[in-house]
């Protein structure tokens, strides 16, 4: 039986282990503002609403929107799920073709605010997301100020490892144990959504293994012969490294391009030479998982090994607190940034350990679903 320990993945900043802080001690201390890749055009049969919600999960709010508008829930669209234990702003679309538009102000409550609304010709689909702006407040900040300042400056200049975060793998990595059972016995989950969650977790774990090894070798942000580079801000603009090139390293240093790692699936791996040998060595004991992903119909893709938060700013405030603000592209995790700062304790996870309510369990499931193919 394989053992899955996310905490074993290496950090760039070893001094992070000498610092600690709490996150999400209040919902207002974890704010997320969703950014679309385009502006709604202002016409069409779909109403697009940007809604601020507090202490509410996305699926529940989508259902309430459908009831309020008198439409089926399938008529409501959103780009991705957002954590209930936060104050978040995100877009929803409601197909009102053939329906009278309601007074949206009547939908508001103390915890639900309509920021703006407009029209568009199409439904907002899952994954149609540029990224998220985060505004966080860490509390109970412990450790030498100089270590914190150094870590913050390193992140601002060099970015962080682009790990898939713990929530990708379920509570105590439970989804990975289910993957192992599936791929070792051939007994696939019966429910389609479970398959999707487990396949996503499996690909993410293999990616993290490759990233972790490149961190240990000190080349996670340096080009190897045969690497595939990913143009910053894209998911599919790729090119192969076929020679040592100073200009290439300069583009890496200026965040124009990033080294990529594997999202496993069918097809020949894109990497060659030294990069191929490295990835083969790391994944040599995971052939059953590779074969399982291929059999399930996943396709080879690449993901940047490095995550660069833009607009990264911070401010220390009284009572051992730190405010942070930054933007991350879709598919990346604020917790990957936090991991390079300190040992972070999530107040909501502590609440789970004390005893979960039914809503908390539902939200934990939603947190896993949030990161599936978004």
End-to-end CA distance of the chain: 30
Question: Helix and strand tally (H, E) in the chain?
Answer: 10, 16
Rounded-to-integer distance, Cα 143 and Cα 121, Å: 52
Instruction: Mark whether 83 is an active-site residue.
Output: yes
CA distance 230 to 242: 14
Q: In what order do the strands lie in the sheet with 228-231?
A: 238-240, 228-231, 257-263, 301-304
- Given the DSSP bridges, would you call strands 310-317 and 321-329 parallel, antiparallel or unpaired? antiparallel
Distance CA 120, CA 41 (A): 5
Taking residue 216's Cβ as centre, other Cβ atoms within 10 Å add up to 11
Contacts of 156 (CB under 8 A, 6+ apart): 309, 312
The 3-state DSSP class for residue 99 equals coil
Distance CA 1, CA 177 (A): 9
Biggest CA–CA distance in the chain, Å, is 63
Give the three-class secondary structure for 181. Answer: helix
- 15, 22, 59, 83: which is the annotated catalytic residue? 83
Euclidean distance between CA atoms 124 and 113, whole angstroms: 19
State both tokens at 181: 């059972």
Instruction: Specify burial of residue 347 (Cβ count, 10 A radius: 0-12, 13-18, 19+).
Output: middle
324: its two tokens: 């942070």
Active site residues: 83
């Amino acid at each position: 039986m394989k053992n899955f320990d996310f905490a074993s993945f290496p950090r760039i900043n070893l001094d992070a282990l000498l610092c600690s802080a709490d996150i999400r001690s209040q919902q207002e201390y974890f704010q997320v503002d969703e950014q679309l890749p385009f502006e709604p055009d202002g016409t069409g049969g779909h109403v697009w609403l940007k809604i601020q919600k507090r202490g509410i999960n996305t699926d529940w709010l989508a259902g309430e929107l459908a009831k309020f508008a008198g439409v089926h829930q399938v008529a409501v669209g959103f780009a991705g799920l957002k954590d209930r234990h936060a104050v978040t702003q995100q877009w929803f679309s409601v197909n009102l073709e053939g329906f009278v538009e309601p007074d949206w102000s009547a939908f508001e409550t103390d915890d639900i605010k309509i920021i703006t609304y407009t029209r568009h010709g199409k439904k907002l689909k899952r994954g149609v997301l540029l990224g998220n702006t985060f505004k966080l407040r860490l509390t109970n900040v412990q450790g030498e100020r100089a270590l914190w300042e150094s870590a913050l400056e390193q992140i601002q200049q060099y970015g962080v490892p682009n790990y898939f975060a713990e929530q990708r793998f379920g509570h105590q990595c439970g989804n990975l144990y289910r993957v192992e059972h599936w791929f070792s016995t051939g007994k696939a989950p019966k429910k389609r959504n479970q398959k999707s969650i487990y396949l996503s977790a499996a690909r993410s774990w293999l990616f993290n293994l490759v990233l972790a090894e490149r961190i240990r070798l000190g080349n996670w942000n340096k080009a190897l012969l045969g690497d595939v580079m990913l143009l910053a801000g894209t998911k599919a603009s790729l090119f192969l490294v076929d020679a040592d090139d100073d200009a290439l390293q300069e583009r890496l240093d200026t965040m124009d391009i990033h080294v990529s790692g594997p999202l496993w699936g069918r097809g020949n791996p894109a990497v060659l030479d030294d990069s191929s040998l490295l990835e083969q060595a790391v994944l040599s004991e995971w052939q059953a998982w590779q074969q399982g992903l291929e059999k399930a119909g996943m396709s080879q893709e690449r993901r940047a090994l490095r995550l660069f938060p833009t607009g990264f700013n911070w401010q220390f405030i009284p009572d051992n607190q730190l405010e942070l603000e930054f933007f991350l592209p879709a598919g990346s995790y604020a917790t990957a940034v936090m991991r390079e700062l300190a040992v972070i304790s999530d107040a909501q996870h502590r609440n789970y350990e004390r005893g979960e309510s039914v809503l908390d369990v539902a939200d934990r499931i939603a947190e896993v679903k949030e990161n599936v193919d978004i």
